[in-house]
Amino acid sequence: MNDSRGSRIDTIRDIVNYRFNNIPDRYLRNEAFIHTHGVAQAAALIAMKRGQNVELSVIAGLLHDISRYTTGISHEHGPNGSKMAREIMRDTDLFTESEITEVCGAIYFHSEKKRRHLPFDEVLKDADVMQHLMGDPLDSPTKKDLERCRALADEFGLTWEEP
């Protein structure tokens, strides 16, 4: 394993950006960049607040929808994205198996918003919800995200008007 930790986020960001640049539909490509980088930023904030690994949270955010956007298949995109993320992380030779397992576990479960998983997994789920709120604060969250929206508003002391 190469131990150049300072560049691990940049390495994953470069890989994700390269793959997203190959999305033929410009609207989907734009959505992929905005949502993915927004989730990565939200994951950093939430991880800092909760004492979770910030670097791995950002990496999970960058990789969480890689399958959905690059294949165009939304069904089972958590498990499919987890497999793709595992390959990407292994190919870089920058991560331990434990780190890969942690990131890929969060990606695998990130669509299961109603279920609770490990604290690290919850960072990614909440970052995904937070990005949707920040992306369009006037848009109503889905029913499955409403409980998480309330909890995030409380946790971060946000004023948020429910639909």
Q: Which amino acid is at 156?
A: F
Over residues 78-105, the pLDDT tens digits come to 899 999 999 999 999 999 999 999 999 9
Going from the N-terminus, what domains does the chain have, and what CATH number goes with each?
A: 5-156 (1.10.3210.10)
How many C-beta atoms surround the C-beta of residue 78 within 10 A?
A: 18
Q: Which amino acid is at 27?
A: Y
Which pLDDT band holds residue 2 (cuts at 50, 70, 90)? Answer: very low
Are the C-beta atoms of 66 and 83 separated by less than 8 Å? no
For 49, 149, 157, the CA distances from 66, given in Å and listed in that order, are: 26, 24, 31
Residue 135 pLDDT: 74
Residue 143 pLDDT: 78
The single-letter DSSP state of residue 142 is: P
Over residues 10-33, the pLDDT tens digits come to 999 999 999 999 999 999 999 999
Go through the chain and tell me how many residues it has. Answer: 163
pTM of the predicted model, to two decimals? 0.91
Residue with the bigger pLDDT between 120 and 138: it is 120
